[in-house]
């Protein structure tokens, strides 16, 4: 049966080894006037202590974005958003001293995520590693469309995530068809190992 093609980024579903999962995030900061949008479910990286948008194959992964809190530059009111956009936050100096853009990140390196693949991954690839495929997300719902790369799975250490197993979602668990959902965990992570480990 064909899978539903509806990418959603990285969605936390538990902890590796069925450990206690409280769904917690850690508070980080996005730099004022940062010029790249970040959507809920996007993986993010860290540079100079600040959150930056993830790239398709970068190794300094910090976690997955779960929204942000900032002072709206027009209304001057505290605002929560599923996504960060440079155009809807206050640049330094436009409010006295600028403003802090708080980003909430699933940063535990042992979090288990589910993500859709952009093609077909075989069950024999479980244990291998792969990278991300970035897409153009929408400001309508603020949700990511990032997927995992079905053409990059390998035992190579230097890949972002490790393939743990296929989802049990009946609409997206056909490994023989494109766009199945897979469980993954970090392989390259700033709090774990930014160089990653070899897949099996």
pLDDT tens per residue across span 102-143: 999 999 999 999 999 999 999 999 999 999 999 999 889 999
Name residue 64's beta-bridge partners: 43, 106
- The pTM for the full model equals 0.92
- Report the pLDDT value the prediction gives residue 143, as an integer from 0 to 100: 96
pLDDT of residue 31: 86
Q: For residue range 79-91, what is the model confidence (pLDDT) as tens digits?
A: 899 999 876 565 5
Round to whole Å and give the CA distance between 98 and 199.
Answer: 45
> What pLDDT, on a 0 to 100 scale, did the predictor assign at position 82?
93
Predicted local confidence at residue 147, as pLDDT:
98
Answer yes or no: are the C-beta atoms of 92 and 98 closer than 8 Å. Answer: yes
Q: Which two tokens stand for residue 179?
A: 């766009």
Q: Which distant-in-sequence residues (6+ apart) come within 8 Å of 140 by Cβ?
A: none
CB 147 within 8 A of CB 123: no
Residue 76 pLDDT greater than 70, yes or no = yes
Rounded alpha-carbon distances, angstroms, from residue 115 to 36, 44, 141, 166: 22, 15, 18, 10
Between 153 and 74, where is the model more confident? Answer: 153
What is the tens place of the pLDDT at every residue in 9-38? 999 999 988 777 888 999 999 987 788 999
Separation of alpha carbons 176 and 190, rounded Å: 34
pLDDT for the residue 98: 54
Mean pLDDT rounded to a whole number for the chain: 90
Rounded-to-integer distance, Cα 7 and Cα 113, Å: 13
For residues 184 and 165, the answer to whether their CB atoms sit within 8 Å is: no
In the predicted structure, residue 97 carries a pLDDT above the cut 60: no
Q: Where are the domains of the chain?
A: 11-19+108-186, 26-106
Cα 70 from Cα 29, distance rounded (Å)? 10
Q: Are 160 and 57 in contact (CB under 8 A)?
A: yes
Query: What integer pLDDT is reported at residue 22 of this predicted model?
Result: 83
């Amino acid at each position: 049966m064909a899978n539903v093609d509806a990418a959603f980024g990285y969605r936390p579903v538990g902890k590796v080894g069925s450990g206690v999962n409280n769904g917690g995030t850690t508070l980080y900061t996005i730099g004022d006037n940062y010029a790249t949008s970040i959507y809920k479910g996007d993986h993010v990286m860290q540079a100079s202590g600040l959150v930056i948008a993830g790239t398709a194959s970068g190794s300094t992964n910090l976690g997955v974005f779960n929204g942000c809190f900032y002072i709206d530059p027009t209304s001057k009111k505290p605002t929560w958003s599923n996504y960060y956009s440079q155009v809807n936050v206050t640049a330094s100096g436009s409010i006295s001293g600028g403003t802090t853009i708080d980003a909430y990140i699933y940063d535990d390196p042992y979090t288990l995520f589910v993500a859709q693949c952009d093609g077909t991954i075989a069950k024999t690839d479980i244990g291998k590693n792969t990278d991300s495929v970035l897409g153009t997300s929408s400001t309508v719902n603020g949700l990511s469309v990032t997927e995992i790369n079905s053409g990059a799975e390998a035992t190579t250490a230097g890949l972002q995530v490790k393939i743990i197993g296929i989802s049990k979602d009946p609409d997206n668990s056909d490994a023989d068809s494109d766009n199945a959902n897979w469980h993954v965990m970090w392989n390259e992570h700033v709090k774990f190992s930014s160089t990653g480990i070899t897949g099996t």
